[in-house]
Amino acid sequence: MTRDSNKDKSANSMWGGRFATGPDAIMTAINASISFDQRLYAQDIAGSRAHAAMLAAQGIISPEDATAIRTGLLTILSEIEAGQFPFSDALEDIHLNIEARLTERIGEAGKRLHTGRSRNDQVAVDFRLWVRDQCDAAIAGLTALMQAFLAQAEAGADWIMPGFTHLQTAQPVTWGHHMLAYVEMLARDRGRFEDARRRMNECPLGAAALAGTGFPIDRHATAAALGFDRPTANSLDSVSDRDFALEFLSASAICATHLSRFAEELVIWSTAQFRFVKLSDKWTTGSSIMPQKKNPDAAELLRAKIGRILGATVALFTVMKGLPLTYSKDMQEDKEQVFDAADTLMLALAAMTGMVSDMTAQKDTLRAAAASGFSTATDLADWLVRALGLPFREAHHVTGRLVALAEQKGCDLPDLSLAELTSAHPGITQEVYSVLGVDNSVRSRVSYGGTAPDQVKAQVTRWKAALGQG
């Protein structure tokens, strides 16, 4: 395409009145958004139908024109869905493409559709409708994933595994407790999408270019027809606001961060060194050279997807910062970022749900790992406080000496003899062995939200009721 290839094209058919010539070919290339915003066709048609019906109800256009517009839009909808719509770059975006096609099909009436509105409020309402649907999809995807984690939690409410801090063995915990940690995280994610949805559910249609319109439109009617709670209250804000997209991206980025964290745990847990879980063949791949390999590719990709989603988030924040009110063409850069982030998030949620449902915790390996690494050292220190009345700092010190002794002997705490134990503190008795086992350790953590199986079972019951499975 040469720079001058569009030179003798005539001026734009939609606004060409004051233009002597058409745009430069490169201008068309940088300006047109139809290649991607055609994804908004259903929302654009829904917005136009609501607008046309309202214009007729208000006596701004005739009922005959409204009927022609409605029928024309429905035909265009099927045309697009059948892949037969002639999308044109020269017509820039989905709004002009549909409007021009409408006039082509129904004539004069099509030209009346744009009364009392602008592409500025049109794109604002289309994009809001689209993002609102994505919030619903994210909420549904998160619910399914929470159910998958919950099923794991219920099956292994009392399976013992090592709990980690710094990825070093810390204290024994239960598998159910670890799974429920993700249910909590995902519930917050879901809440963020619910909040964002609630906040974005105001209709900008009727703000027109920026100042509202002199036509006697009924913004409450169009808002209701499109399922919004109410119309937006300030026309300037209505066409310049993209908070709904920023909120969606922010919520997506936090959610993808959570997915990334569990993905990393799966990568670690499925290694030959850990063997905490077996991933299903459905979510792993082989190596073309090493026959023994089963690689956790899905988990690795889920660990990485946050990069894309956060990239989109940063991109849109950067576009929006410093923009003066109201609409600027900069804002056309919002869509590709949000489309990609939304596609990525929905795919990631579905993949994680499948992987979590199909993974198998290796109960015996988990238990053996929990018993090693001096995981009950805190229980020993607590016992010294409870049974012997030692101040905790001193108990910590005595326990530290015993850990060093066990490490030196190459054994675990329960393997030390009573004589060895009393060498660190003379008051220690046989009774101490009861707290050195992992079962007693987890059973003792009964504080609210703690890892004791009874606590975990209570939380499972609560979540089952909350997720409608009770």
Q: Which is nearer to ligand ARG, 93 or 382 (CB)?
A: 93
How near is the Cβ of 23 to ligand ARG at its closest, in Å? 13
**Phi/psi of residue 180, nearest 5 degrees:** -70, -25
Candidate segments 115-123, 308-316, 421-429, 454-462, binder of ligand ARG by CB under 6 A: 115-123
By CB under 6 A, the residues from 118 to 137 that bind ligand ARG are 119-120, 123
Q: Does 99 bind ligand ARG (CB under 6 A)?
A: no
* Strand segments (E) across 269-380: 277-278, 360-361
How near is the Cβ of 232 to ligand ARG at its closest, in Å? 17
- Active-site residue, 287 included: yes
What span, in angstroms and rounded, lies between the C-alpha atoms of 351 and 12? 45
Q: Does 413 bind ligand ARG (CB under 6 A)?
A: no
How near is the Cβ of 327 to ligand ARG at its closest, in Å? 6
In one letter, which amino acid is 373? G
Q: Does 48 bind ligand ARG (CB under 6 A)?
A: no
Tell me, what DSSP letter sits at residue 295?
B
Options 93, 99, 189, 379; binder of ligand ARG; rule CB under 6 A: 93
Q: Which is nearer to ligand ARG, 70 or 119 (CB)?
A: 119
Annotate 174-208 with b (16+ C-beta within 10 A) or e (fewer): bbbbbbbbbbebbbebbebbbebbeebbbbbbbbb
Q: Does 238 bind ligand ARG (CB under 6 A)?
A: no
What span, in angstroms and rounded, lies between the C-alpha atoms of 149 and 161? 16
What span, in angstroms and rounded, lies between the C-alpha atoms of 192 and 274? 34
How near is the Cβ of 40 to ligand ARG at its closest, in Å? 9
Q: Does 33 bind ligand ARG (CB under 6 A)?
A: yes
The size of the interface with ligand ARG (CB under 6 A), counted in residues, is: 10
| Closest of 175, 192, 317, 301 to residue 242, by C-alpha | 317
Q: Which is nearer to ligand ARG, 123 or 256 (CB)?
A: 123
Under 8 Å between Cβ of 231 and 206: yes
Under 8 Å between Cβ of 153 and 361: no
Neighbour tally for 281: CB within 10 Å: 10
Q: Does 242 bind ligand ARG (CB under 6 A)?
A: no
Length of the chain as a residue count: 470
Q: Does 332 bind ligand ARG (CB under 6 A)?
A: yes
Under 8 Å between Cβ of 78 and 19: no
Catalytic residue among 10, 78, 287, 372, which? Answer: 287
Q: Does 114 bind ligand ARG (CB under 6 A)?
A: no
Q: Which is nearer to ligand ARG, 339 or 433 (CB)?
A: 339
- Active-site residue, 166 included: yes
What span, in angstroms and rounded, lies between the C-alpha atoms of 362 and 436? 23
How near is the Cβ of 94 to ligand ARG at its closest, in Å? 8
Residues at the interface with ligand ARG (CB under 6 A): 33, 37, 93, 119-120, 123, 327, 329, 331-332
Annotated catalytic residues are 166, 287
